[in-house]
Structure 1
C-alpha cells in the first residue's frame, strides 16, 4: 500500500479517530434475545485490500502487521467497543456493527478468525478480526458488543483472555472487476455468457451479482476474485482488447 494511502487509513483506526458523533462510548440497545445471534464460521478469506499495510503508526508507536501467520497465540487483557463506533468504517473498510461477532487487533492480518477465551471463567467466543486496536495500555483485543456479551465482558468491561488464531486470510490481496450494472437481468445473463466465451480458457469466475438501486433490481456483471498484480493487469488488458471500457475494480468491502 502506498505510504500516502496508509497514512489516511491510520486516521480511520477506531481507537484514535476524532470523526465520531459521540465523544464517549456506550452500550447499544439490547435486542430481545442475543442468543439468536450466531458466531461466524472460521474460514480463510481474501486478504483485505485496506488495513494490511506492512506497518502503521498510532499515538507515536509503530506496529508491524504479521505476514501470513500459521499459528498465533497471545494472552493479555480484552476490552470491548460499542455505539460510539457503530456504523463507522473499520480498518479494512467494512462497517462496524455492534451485533456482529468482530474484533480489533493491532497486528493480525485482516480478516482473521480467532477464538477468545476468558481465563477467569473459561467462556469463549469466535470472532472475525476486521479492525485495528485497541491502543490503550496492555489491552490486546477489542471485542464487538455482542462478542463481549457472549463471555460476560460487557459487564466486567475488561478481563484476562487468551486468543488463538483459527483461520488467517489467504496470502494474496484480491479484487473484483465489474464490467456493467444492468437493470435487465436477461441482458446481464447474456453479457455474462459472452464474457465466459471471450475469456476462454476461463481463469476467473464471471458472475452476475444481484443488488438494488433506489429500490429497483440491479444486476452487476463481475469477474473475480482476481489476485492483485500481474493477474489483475492481464485481465484488464484482455478486457481492453474486447473494447470493454472503464471497468470498475472493487475490493471485498465494495461488493454490496
Structure 2
C-alpha cells in the first residue's frame, strides 16, 4: 500500500524513457523493499575527490517539459526544501551518470548539482543528519529539493511518511581531505589525555573504524578518536568518544549511541 504523501520518485534515465513507458504513469507504485533491513549499520558516504562525469551532466537538460540548468559551481550550495525518496521500483536500474541504483546505498538525486557530489542532509523535523553521494537526477515533481535513497530516508526517519523538510549542504571533498587528521594516540605514540572515554567498537581493519569515526563526527559533540593497539591476533582499531568528564553526559551519550548506532558502549579510563 502506498503511504500518505508518497507519489513517485523519478530517475533521469526514467524521464528519458517516458515515451515508451506510458507517460507519467511510469513513476507510480514505487515501494519500499519487500524485506526490510537494519540501515543503522550502513555507513554514510565518505566524501572523496572525483571527476565530474560527462554522463548525467548535460547542461541544460529537459525533464517533464521543463528546462534545468546545472549550477556553475557546487561550492557554497545550501538550500532548504522538501525531500522524498525512491525505492524498489528503481533498484538495479541505471542512474543518470550510468551507475546502478541501490536503494540501500547512501545516494541521492538532485536537479542542478554537478555530479557526482556529496551533500549533508539534515531532517529539520528531528535534526538527524546523513551524508550522501549525489549520482542521479530528480525529483521533478512538486518543487521537491532532493530525492534520497530508501536507506538515507530511513536513517533520517521519514521513510514511512515519504516526505520531510530538510536542509541540503554541499560538502567540498577537497576541503575535507585537506583537513589534518586528528591525533590518533596509538599511531603517534603520544599518551592519551587522562580521563574517561566511551569505547564503541574494535575492528581488525582500519576502514570500518574510520567510517564509524567519520559518521559519529556528524552528530557527536565530543572528540571521536581512533586508536591502534596490539591485540593477540594482530592490530585492533578502536573507536572512542572522549574524554567525557560528567557522569550525566556519559549516560546521555551511551543512550544516544545505543539508539543511533545500535551499539553498547562501555567506559574506559586513561
Is 1:113 aligned to 2:103, yes or no?
Answer: no
Is 1:24 aligned to 2:29, yes or no?
Answer: yes
Q: Which of 77, 98, 118 is the matching residue for 2:103?
A: 98
Q: How does 1:107-256 map to 2 (within 5 A)?
A: 107-167=112-172
Query: Could you tell me which residue of structure 1 aligns to residue 50 of structure 2?
Result: 45
Cα 1:15–1:168 change in 2 (3 A) is farther
Query: Could you tell me which residue of structure 2 aligns to residue 13 of structure 1?
Result: 13
Gaps of 5+ in 1: 1-9, 170-256
SS of equivalent to 1:154: coil
Query: Could you tell me which residue of structure 1 aligns to residue 94 of structure 2?
Result: 89
Q: Does the Cα contact within 8 Å between 1:109 and 1:168 map onto a contact in 2? A: no
Q: CA RMSD in A?
A: 2.4
Cα 1:14–1:141 change in 2 (3 A) is farther
Aligned length: 160
**Structure 2 Cα separation of the partners of residues 75 and 159 of structure 1:** 11
Write 1 or 2 for the structure with the bigger share of strand: 1
Q: Report which stretch shifted further, 66-75 or 134-143.
A: 66-75
TM-score where L is the length of structure 2: 0.55
Cα 1:15–1:102 change in 2 (3 A) is farther
Query: Could you tell me which residue of structure 2 aligns to residue 68 of structure 1?
Result: 73
**Structure 2 Cα separation of the partners of residues 12 and 166 of structure 1:** 23
Q: Does the Cα contact within 8 Å between 2:108 and 2:135 map onto a contact in 1? A: yes
**Structure 2 Cα separation of the partners of residues 33 and 120 of structure 1:** 22
